[in-house]
Amino acid sequence: MAAVSGLKCVATVEARMTSSRLPGKVLLPAAGRPLLQILVERLRRAPGLDGLVIATTVNASDDPVSALGEKLGVGVFRGSENDVLGRVCGALRASGADVCVEITGDCPLIDPEIVGEALTEFLRTRDDHPYVSNSDPHRAVPAGLDVQVFLASALFQLDAATGDSDDREHVSYGFYRPESGDRWRPRFIRHAACAGAE
């Protein structure tokens, strides 16, 4: 999408092996492939993306996540396990991204068309809304199809301004938390394909 918008649009995938509910879930096999590989393959089909970075941790337990990313030929950035905001910012800086399409690693069935639609809507309205998402409080899409799109520079501002543990664990929470008021003017979109899924 850089050729069209002048902005480099990169998807970040937060993935680690130490999930409290289901450890190792990102590498569990499905149809003969790790779930994270399925997620990467689906994101590669999303229109408008210029790159993809797996944002994992520096922990030895995440060496297999890093190895899979390298095998698949996508970027890998390793950072803090608990400071996910800092980790994603590091991934964005390392990739030279202008726009972040944030995806969590436990969404292997992400829909490439929904990702592309969210990115297109963000690029169309970014001057008025530096944060666009389909994961509003009313659940515009089924769980697992969540997409959040925002300016990397806006996330860097959040990173510099907050030490709040919720903000640092939940990457983009600062954009839509009630205390932020209208500062970031978050926009929540709905997709025509999901109209009957509510």
Q: Which residues pair with 99 in a beta bridge?
A: 9, 151
Which candidate, 136, 96, 118, 146, places its Cα nearest to that of 46?
Answer: 118
User: How far is 166 from 172, CA to CA, in rounded Å?
Assistant: 10
* pLDDT tens by residue, the chain, 198 residues: 666 679 999 999 999 999 888 999 999 999 999 999 999 999 999 999 999 999 999 999 999 999 999 999 999 999 999 999 999 999 999 999 999 999 999 999 999 999 999 999 999 999 999 999 998 766 668 889 999 999 999 999 999 998 888 889 999 999 988 888 788 999 999 876 555 544
Exposed e or buried b for every residue in 148-177, given b needs 16+ CB within 10 A?
bbbbbebbeebbeeeeeeebbeebbbbbbb
The rounded distance, in Å, linking the Cα atoms of 8 and 150 is 12
The CATH class given to the 2-197 domain equals alpha beta
What is the pTM for the complete model shown?
0.92
